[in-house]
Amino acid sequence: MARLRVGVLISGRGSNLQALIDAARDPGYPAEIAVVVSNRADAPGLGRAAAAGIPHHAIEETRRAAFAEAADRVLRAAGVELVALAGFMRILDLGFVEAWRDRMVNIHPSLLPAFPGLHPQRQALAAGVKFSGCTVHFVRAVVDSGPIVAQAAVPVADDDDEERLAARILAAEHRLYPLAVRLFAERRLRIAGERVLVDGAAAPPAAMLNPSDNRA
């Protein structure tokens, strides 16, 4: 079976992009990174794509609709079937979101719907929660909303600061995102209203809650 072609949108260092690149190096992984697009030419993640031999593009277009048109053209030319937002820090054009509806995912460093938006780790510490984590979800028009594919929880220590908590969550992100993309590539995800149902018993929902799961 042909591997799922994934297009990754980034704005910065691309550490989740690297996690997907590393996962795709396994011949048994059912997806490959077809193209990387950044809204910043100086994004370090473009260097990661170059090092891996992946086609990459910088689209420094400040107009939302114009960026969407250019990005959509690049993604479709590369035969992309799933768009993965990996530290992409711009609000997307609504037409772009609808064009890729149920074929675009994002990873956010909180257990959504808690702490959407900017500085979720800071929000978690201010709220005094005992657990935080990360969420992979299908993208919708409202930022950090949409049906949840998978989540991973991490403990919040009493002496945590924003940087330490962010690092712990990021480590979980690097395991969770390849798992979520795998589930999509294997056609095991079904959207029912605002819920995502996972077919098959090989990766039960509990596995997606375990931040130490590295089977992806």
Domains 1-100 and 107-216 share a fold: yes
Query: Span 1-100: which CATH code?
Result: 3.40.50.170
Question: Domain residue spans in the chain?
Answer: 1-100, 107-216
**If pLDDT is split at 50, 70 and 90, which confidence band does 200 have?**
confident
Task: Give the contacts of 95 (CB within 8 A, at least 6 positions apart).
Answer: 65, 68
Task: Please name the amino acid found at residue 29.
Answer: Y
pTM: 0.92
pLDDT at position 150 is: 98
The Cα 187–Cα 30 span in angstroms is 10
| Residue positions counted in the chain | 216
Mean pLDDT of 192-204: 77
Closest alpha carbon to 145 in 133, 153, 156, 135: 135
Mean pLDDT rounded to a whole number for the chain: 93
At 65-76, the pLDDT tens digits run 999 999 999 999
Q: What percent of the chain has pLDDT over 90?
A: 92
| Residue 102 backbone dihedrals phi, psi, to 5 degrees | 65, 10
Which of 56, 57, 108, 174 is an active site residue? Answer: 108
pLDDT at position 1 is: 75
Is 57 annotated in the active site?
Answer: no
Mean pLDDT of 38-60: 98
In CATH, which superfamily holds the domain spanning 107-216?
Formyl transferase, N-terminal domain (3.40.50.170)
The Cα 176–Cα 208 span in angstroms is 7
DSSP characters over the chain: -PPEEEEEEESS--HHHHHHHHHHTSTTSSEEEEEEEES-TT-HHHHHHHHTT--EEE----SHHHHHHHHHHHHHHTT-SEEEESS--SPPPHHHHHHTTTSEEEEESS-TTSS-SS-HHHHHHHHT-SEEEEEEEE--SSTT-S-EEEEEEEE--TT--HHHHHHHHHHHHHHHHHHHHHHHHTT-EEEETTEEEE-SSSS-GGGGG-TT----
pLDDT at position 214 is: 38
At 94-142, the pLDDT tens digits run 999 999 999 999 999 999 999 999 999 999 999 999 999 999 999 999 9
